[in-house]
């Protein structure tokens, strides 16, 4: 296939100071939970992206000095020359595939509590640290400012020696000292570094000038600047001071990487933001500078990308999350394979890796983070040892779809049997709920790929019994029958069923996922959601019920609604939306009794009880795997050989209920491991073990 000429503009080279990007696809800096602890894994991830056609591959933020220690978060670290080798593998891998390597140097100021280094945090003025640590940052004096400039210059020179092509001066996401100096909220100084905007920008200007002088002969110097903090005149605003900063520094850097702050605004989930949502904030930048401009917007559509270029919004298409979901997105556009793009769903599971201090993962791309550890590639998979063998996958949710697709790509003959009338399972069911339509991309991508494969067959309305599976005669059987929500109250707070729930009118979360809840049943009634799951569903159901006209109360043992979504940067938006919809929120409460239209709650700290009216209770607690078929097959294991069955496996929620990302990973892993000898006593991936070094 050949490239659509409409997209030729995306493959034009772009000059960035002394270096040239081979096209307009630019992977902006993003956290990944690998960095300094897993440098080989980081290099493997970046090599794949460079091979996938991204012209520029940037690191995560990199601590430039030991007074900017964000431990335990796994970011980059370039404190001294001993850290250079941790980046060498990435630089070499990026260059080997013809891309430019960029590094985002950062000093996080009062957002760095220095838990490991035990240095006193630094800030423009005296203030609390950004974390909840009971320490404060001290106001920097003139010597501190001179030190910071020297530290940044030294780190830039180390980055140059490591082979980086683009070196960042970072003032974004409300996280770094240059941004803290620019901000009126944090900068209360009365010297030449405080007061007027020109004074507040002075340090950033000096850092850019220092970096240009130190490395500008060979390296491009980029600035990453948040032009708007999305908080009106209380913060930087693209209509006032954000614009003025760009005007002041317009021609100084070699590239402008512009976005919004804070991180939750920059990486807003699909539930709360559309593709290209930052355009309104960054639209002015190109009119003020002749230097190339890159910006982000969760771009997955090549038409949207071309529009950004032709309308003069951006010169380079920036991406973090889309490059994670599909590292080969540029190649697929270049080769005319638009239908093969694995589109980001904007769920921010990738972000959660950084937040929980673990390696990156992705709902759409199960190979993310496993490129070096397991040798997984997003577009390549080992050929089946026995391609004549048939694989039967029972259940077409995320795990079943991914298993079927990956097994078919290996060359197996695949049959995918779905009991219902549509594919997608939990992902397609979630897509029915407010704001979660993008989850249907999990189904859409995999169904589209499978239906074009000659060695894959899809059977709808095909519930299978153990006898029918045995009669089918497949050598490998994957059972991906999903899970159902419990109605007995068992979850994190209650390990045993709550007998009193038998006296309550209950409505299962599955009814909302199935789209069978009618407004007439809930309108005007008092609905209580008990959320002991703490992820998306409790809050989404509350929103759906409020939209149906119910009187909604959300009860949770946690301190706030959908507590785990702090890790996906959307908890604040979820709680705000529910409050705006009139949902009553009762945190720190668990279930203690029910009956006669009343629900008894107990404080999780004091056990003190209270009663609230409740016509219908929706318990969002634990799930039970739908494993009946698997257990029936296990009971007839003696018959497998006669039926030609070599292996029966449980995958996805039928194995252990979790996120959609976990289900996709489970299905992919099984497909990769078919006919492989698995030793449960051996770690199934490569590890990077710490060495012993002094000094």
CATH of the domain at 397: 3.40.50.720
Q: Per-residue pLDDT tens for 179-211?
A: 999 999 999 999 999 999 999 999 999 999 999
Record the pTM: 0.96
Nearest-angstrom CA–CA distance, 428 and 433: 10
Q: Do the domain assignments include residue 680?
A: no
Residues 572 and 616 in one domain: yes
Q: Do the domain assignments include residue 414?
A: yes
Backbone angles phi, psi at 230, to 5 degrees: 55, 45
Residues 280 and 427 in one domain: no
Residue 34: is its pLDDT beyond 90?
A: yes
H or E, element range at 255: strand 255-260
Question: Which pLDDT belongs to residue 202?
Answer: 98
Q: Per-residue pLDDT tens for 361-405?
A: 999 999 999 999 999 999 999 999 999 999 999 999 999 999 999
Place of tokens 């793009």: 341
How many structural domains are present in the chain? 3
Q: Do the domain assignments include residue 532?
A: yes
Residues of the chain above pLDDT 70, percent? 100
- Give the mean pLDDT of 643-658: 98
| Residues in Cβ contact with 671 at an 8 Å cutoff, skipping those fewer than 6 apart | 381, 391, 402, 403, 404, 405, 406, 407, 409, 410
Question: Which pLDDT belongs to residue 234?
Answer: 86
Residues 213 and 341 in one domain: yes
Q: Do the domain assignments include residue 128?
A: no
Angle between helix 398-410 and 440-450 (nearest 10)? 30
Buried b (16+ CB within 10 A) or exposed e, 487-520: bbbbbebbeeebeebeebeebbbebbbeeebeee
Residues 295 and 223 in one domain: yes
Residues 591 and 647 in one domain: no
Nearest-angstrom CA–CA distance, 58 and 124: 28
CB 486: neighbour CB atoms within 10 A? 18
What CATH number is given to the structural domain containing 50? Answer: 3.20.20.70
- Give the mean pLDDT of 352-359: 95
- Domain with 494, as residue range(s), is 488-622
Joined together, the tokens standing for residue 253 give 């850097």
Residues 477 and 519 in one domain: no
Nearest to 175 by CA among 243, 234, 225: 225
CA–centroid distance for 683 within its chain: 26
| Residues in Cβ contact with 677 at an 8 Å cutoff, skipping those fewer than 6 apart | none
Q: Do the domain assignments include residue 306?
A: yes
Residues 478 and 495 in one domain: no
Alpha helices in 123-191 (DSSP H): 142-162, 177-182
Nearest-angstrom CA–CA distance, 181 and 203: 7
For the annotated catalytic residues, the residue numbers are: 31, 170, 173, 266
- Give the mean pLDDT of 338-353: 97
| Residues in Cβ contact with 359 at an 8 Å cutoff, skipping those fewer than 6 apart | 32, 33, 34, 38, 41, 353, 369, 373
Q: Do the domain assignments include residue 501?
A: yes
Residues 584 and 463 in one domain: no
Residues 65 and 214 in one domain: yes
Q: Per-residue pLDDT tens for 431-486?
A: 999 999 999 999 999 999 999 999 999 999 999 999 999 999 999 999 999 999 99
Question: Which pLDDT belongs to residue 694?
Answer: 63
Q: Do the domain assignments include residue 117?
A: no
- Cα atoms in the 13 Å half-sphere on the side-chain side of 583: 32
Residues 59 and 151 in one domain: yes
Residue 131's pLDDT band (cuts 50, 70, 90): confident
Q: Do the domain assignments include residue 123?
A: no
Q: Are 261 and 173 in contact (CB under 8 A)?
A: yes
Residue 1's pLDDT band (cuts 50, 70, 90): confident
Write down the mean pLDDT value for the chain.
96
> How is 626-643 classified by DSSP, letter by letter?
--HHHHHHHHTGGGHHHH
What CATH number is given to the structural domain containing 594? Answer: 3.50.50.60
Residues 167 and 274 in one domain: yes
Question: Which pLDDT belongs to residue 269?
Answer: 97
Nearest-angstrom CA–CA distance, 199 and 192: 5
Question: Which pLDDT belongs to residue 614?
Answer: 97
Residues 535 and 592 in one domain: yes
Buried b (16+ CB within 10 A) or exposed e, 144-176: bbeebbebbbbbbbbbbebbbbbbbbbbbbbbb
- Cα atoms in the 13 Å half-sphere on the side-chain side of 303: 1
């Amino acid at each position: 296939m050949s490239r659509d000429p409409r997209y030729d503009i995306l493959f034009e080279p772009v000059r960035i100071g002394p270096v040239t990007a081979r096209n307009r696809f630019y992977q902006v800096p993003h956290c990944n939970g690998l960095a300094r602890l897993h440098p080989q894994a980081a290099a493997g991830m970046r090599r794949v992206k460079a091979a996938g056609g991204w012209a520029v591959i940037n690191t995560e933020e990199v601590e430039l000095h030991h007074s900017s220690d964000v431990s335990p978060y796994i970011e980059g670290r370039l404190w001294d020359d001993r850290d250079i080798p941790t980046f060498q593998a990435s630089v070499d891998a990026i260059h080997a595939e013809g891309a430019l390597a960029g590094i985002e140097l950062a000093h996080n100021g009062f957002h760095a509590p220095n838990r490991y280094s035990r240095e006193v945090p630094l800030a423009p003025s005296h203030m609390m640290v950004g974390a909840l640590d009971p320490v404060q940052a001290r106001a920097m004096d003139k010597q501190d400012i001179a030190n910071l400039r020297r530290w940044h210059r030294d780190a830039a020179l180390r980055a140059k020696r490591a082979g980086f092509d683009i070196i960042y001066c970072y003032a974004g996401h409300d996280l770094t000292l240059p941004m803290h100096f620019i901000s009126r909220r944090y900068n209360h100084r009365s010297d030449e570094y405080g007061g007027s905007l020109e004074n507040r920008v002075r340090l950033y200007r000096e850092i850019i000038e220092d970096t240009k002088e130190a490395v500008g002969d060979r390296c491009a110097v980029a600035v990453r600047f948040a032009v708007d903090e999305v908080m009106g005149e209380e913060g930087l605003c693209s209509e006032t001071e954000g614009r003025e900063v760009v005007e002041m520094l317009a021609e100084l850097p070699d590239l402008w990487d512009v976005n919004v702050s804070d991180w939750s605004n920059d990486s807003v989930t699909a539930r709360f933001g559309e593709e290209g949502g930052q355009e309104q904030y960054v639209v002015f930048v190109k009119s003020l500078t002749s230097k190339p401009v890159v910006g982000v917007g969760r771009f997955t559509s090549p038409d949207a990308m071309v529009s950004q270029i032709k309308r003069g919004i951006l010169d380079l298409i920036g991406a973090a999350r889309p490059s994670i979901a599909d590292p080969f997105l540029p190649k697929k556009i270049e080769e005319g394979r638009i239908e093969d793009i694995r589109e980001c769903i904007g769920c921010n599971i990738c972000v959660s890796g950084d937040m929980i201090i673990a390696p990156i993962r992705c709902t759409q791309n199960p190979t993310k983070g496993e490129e070096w550890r397991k040798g997984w590639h997003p577009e390549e998979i080992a050929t089946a040892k026995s391609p004549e063998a048939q694989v039967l996958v029972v259940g077409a949710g995320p795990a079943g779809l991914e298993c079927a697709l990956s097994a078919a790509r290996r060359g197996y003959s695949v049959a995918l049997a779905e009991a219902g009338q549509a594919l997608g399972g939990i992902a397609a069911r979630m897509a029915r709920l407010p704001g979660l339509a993008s989850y249907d991309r999990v189904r859409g991508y995999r169904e589209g790929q499978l239906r074009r494969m000659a060695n894959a067959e899809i059977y709808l309305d095909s519930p299978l019994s153990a006898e029918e599976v045995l009669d089918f005669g497949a050598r490998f059987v994957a059972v991906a029958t999903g899970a159902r929500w419990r109605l007995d109250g068992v979850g994190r707070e209650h390990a045993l069923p709550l007998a009193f729930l038998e006296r309550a009118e209950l409505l299962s979360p599955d009814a909302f996922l199935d789209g069978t809840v009618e407004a007439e049943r809930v309108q005007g009634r008092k609905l209580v959601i008990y959320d002991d799951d703490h992820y998306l569903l409790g809050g989404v159901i509350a929103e759906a019920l409020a939209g149906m006209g119910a009187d909604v109360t959300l009860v949770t043992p946690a301190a706030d609604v959908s507590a785990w979504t702090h890790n996906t940067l959307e908890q604040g938006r979820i709680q705000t939306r529910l409050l705006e919809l009139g949902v009553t929120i009762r945190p720190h409460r668990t279930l203690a009794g029910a009956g006669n239209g009343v629900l008894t709650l107990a404080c999780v700290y004091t056990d003190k009880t209270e009663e609230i009216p409740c016509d219908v209770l929706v318990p969002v607690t634990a799930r039970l795997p739908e494993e009946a078929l698997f257990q029936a097959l296990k009971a007839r294991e003696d018959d497998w050989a006669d039926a030609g069955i070599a292996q029966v496996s449980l995958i996805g929620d039928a194995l252990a209920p979790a996120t959609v990302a976990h289900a996709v990973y489970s299905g992919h892993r099984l497909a990769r491991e078919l006919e492989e000898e698995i030793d449960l006593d051996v770690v199934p991936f490569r590890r990077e073990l710490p060495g012993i070094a002094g000094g």
